[in-house]
């Protein structure tokens, strides 16, 4: 493969505009084409990033452009169809999170990637934050001991998305859990070394999104009478190794400020990613060790994520976000929705 792989992007909304396209540009790669049902938005992005071809139909784009790799940046419910189509055409696929709407879909997608001999990776950009990387290095050093408990927190104070189709099940499958919760869930699974989840107890609620005054406060960005996803979720995940993880996520909550962090508790030390601190006993004294890493910068995380993805596409590295991890994230999400719907613990599907 030549040094600059042929990249095509499907979707020209927020994820493409803020994450994928600037990150390809920052890595000196100009995508060969972009597709969006709305060609007007695709045209704007194409001009900005000097992309030579714009399509309304992603199938036509893939057939004509024969990309080496495709970025999938469309609402969640459409990921499966596009990923399978791109893999079948012989492209590697970087797919936005959450990769699928069920474990059955996710397994089908990774099986298709295996059969095609192509890589499929979920775009979990928080893995590339300096904080996350630093805490992972400390976990790898063995200094934490046995990590027996974690917390994955993605709480917004008043942050229901003000664009897109996040608010409707028919396009997005779920709400806060799939928009922001999945970021910290994935990070926790990665930092805890991907333990096997066995049981989930969850509760979910829709407390803000259906209220007209809240929609009005956020520029009437959605129709509150049609808002049918959760804006709050809490889940306790039990793992086969005896560890547990508390996931808390919301698009709106009456709290002091937004909180995005993973906490790990080990037998020898604890840690949080934001703020990046390690907590331990030193010579019999509890000590908080503040890590000197640059502040969590999500723009930089996208640039590093795409740099890694380009190395994967060139055959130089294996995907940092592994299929087994993404499948466990999906299993937990499925079980959480089931538990919340049924009002009892849900066993995690194999
Ligand atoms: N990693 C991150 O930080 C991050 C941030 C935002 C969104 N996302 C993810 O990115 C995905 C898209 O979210 P978004 O905020 O960009 O949404 P968006 O609504 O801003 O953009 C989606 C775009 O996809 C287009 N589209 C939909 N179906 C299509 C199809 N079949 N063919 C071509 N184009 C199609 C729409 O016209 C729209 O322009 C979601 O899965 C979301 O979870 C990730």
Mean pLDDT over 108-132 rounds to 97
Indicate the pLDDT class of residue 296, thresholds 50, 70 and 90: confident
Place of tokens 């396009």: 171
Sign, CA torsion 263/264/265/270: negative
CB distance 41 to ligand 1 below 6 Å: yes
CA 148 to chain centre: 24
Mean pLDDT over 118-132 rounds to 97
Report whether pLDDT(2) > 70.
no
Residues 6+ apart with CB under 8 A from 282: none
Closest CA to 45 of 24, 76, 62, 61: 24
CA of 239 to the centre of ligand 1 (A): 32
Structure confidence by residue, pLDDT tens digits, 310-331: 999 999 999 999 999 999 999 9
- Domain locations in the chain? 7-123, 129-295+329-347
Chain-wide mean pLDDT for the chain? 97
Structure confidence by residue, pLDDT tens digits, 167-176: 999 999 999 9
Contact 50, 21 (CB under 8 A): no
Closest CA to 278 of 151, 144, 179: 144
For residue 53, what pLDDT is reported? 98
CB distance 61 to ligand 1 below 6 Å: no
Sequential DSSP letters for 169-227: HHHHS-SHIIIIIHHHHHHHHHHTT-PPEEEEEEEEE-SSTT-HHHHHHTTT-S-TTT-
CA of 102 to the centre of ligand 1 (A): 18
Question: Burial letters for 273-300: b for 16+ Cβ neighbours within 10 Å, e otherwise?
Answer: bbebbbbbeeeeeeeeeebeeeebebeb
Check residue 127 and report its DSSP letter.
G
Cα separations in angstroms, 138 against 144, 210, 260, 266, 273: 7, 43, 20, 11, 11
Structure confidence by residue, pLDDT tens digits, 26-81: 999 999 999 999 999 999 999 999 999 999 999 999 999 999 999 999 999 999 99
Distance CA 84, CA 78 (A): 10
CB distance 21 to ligand 1 below 6 Å: no
Mean pLDDT over 183-210 rounds to 98
Q: What percentage of residues in the chain have a pLDDT greater than 90?
A: 97
Residues 6+ apart with CB under 8 A from 156: 176, 180, 250, 251, 252, 253, 258
Would you mind telling me the total number of residues written for the chain in this entry? 350
CA of 342 to the centre of ligand 1 (A): 30
Radius of gyration of the chain (CA): 20
Structure confidence by residue, pLDDT tens digits, 77-96: 999 999 999 999 999 999 99
Mean pLDDT over 334-348 rounds to 98
In CATH, the number for domain 129-295+329-347 is 3.30.360.10
Mean pLDDT over 116-137 rounds to 97
- Predicted TM-score of the model (pTM): 0.98
For residue 298, what pLDDT is reported? 80
Report whether pLDDT(109) > 80.
yes
Closest CA to 52 of 26, 29, 66, 34: 34
Architecture of domain 7-123: 3-Layer(aba) Sandwich (3.40)
């Amino acid at each position: 493969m030549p040094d600059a792989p042929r990249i095509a992007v499907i979707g020209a909304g927020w994820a493409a505009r803020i994450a994928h396209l600037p990150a390809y540009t920052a890595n000196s790669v100009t995508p060969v084409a972009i597709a969006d049902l709305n060609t007007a938005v695709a045209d704007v992005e194409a001009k900005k990033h000097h992309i030579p071809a714009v399509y309304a139909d992603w199938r036509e784009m893939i057939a004509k452009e024969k990309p080496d790799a495709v970025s999938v940046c469309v609402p969640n419910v459409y990921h499966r169809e596009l990923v399978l189509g791109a893999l079948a055409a012989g492209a590697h696929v970087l797919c936005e999170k959450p990769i699928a709407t069920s474990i059955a879909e996710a397994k089908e997608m990774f099986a298709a990637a295996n059969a095609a001999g192509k890589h499929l990776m979920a775009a979990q950009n928080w893995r590339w934050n300096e904080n996350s990387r630093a805490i992972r290095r400390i976990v790898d050093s063995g200094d934490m001991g046995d990590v027996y408990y974690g917390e994955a927190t993605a709480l917004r104070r008043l942050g229901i998305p003000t664009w897109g189709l996040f608010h409707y099940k028919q396009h997005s499958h779920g709400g806060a859990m799939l928009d922001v919760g999945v970021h910290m869930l994935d990070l926790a699974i990665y930092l805890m070394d991907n333990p096997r989840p066995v049981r989930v107890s969850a509760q979910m609620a829709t407390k803000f999104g259906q209220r007209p005054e809240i929609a009005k406060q956020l520029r009437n960005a959605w129709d509150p009478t049609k808002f049918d996803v959760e804006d709050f979720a809490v889940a306790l995940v039990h793992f086969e190794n005896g560890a547990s993880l508390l996931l808390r996520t919301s698009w709106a909550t009456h709290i002091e400020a937004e909180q995005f962090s993973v906490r790990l508790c080990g037998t020898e030390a604890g840690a949080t990613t934001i703020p990046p601190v390690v907590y331990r006993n030193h010579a019999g004294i509890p000590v908080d060790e503040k890590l000197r890493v640059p502040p969590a910068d999500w723009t930089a995380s996208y640039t590093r994520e795409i740099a890694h993805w380009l190395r994967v596409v060139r055959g130089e590295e294996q995907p940092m976000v592994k299929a087994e991890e993404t499948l466990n994230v999906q299993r937990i999400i499925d079980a959480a929705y089931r538990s919340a719907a049924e009002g009892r613990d849900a066993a995690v599907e194999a």
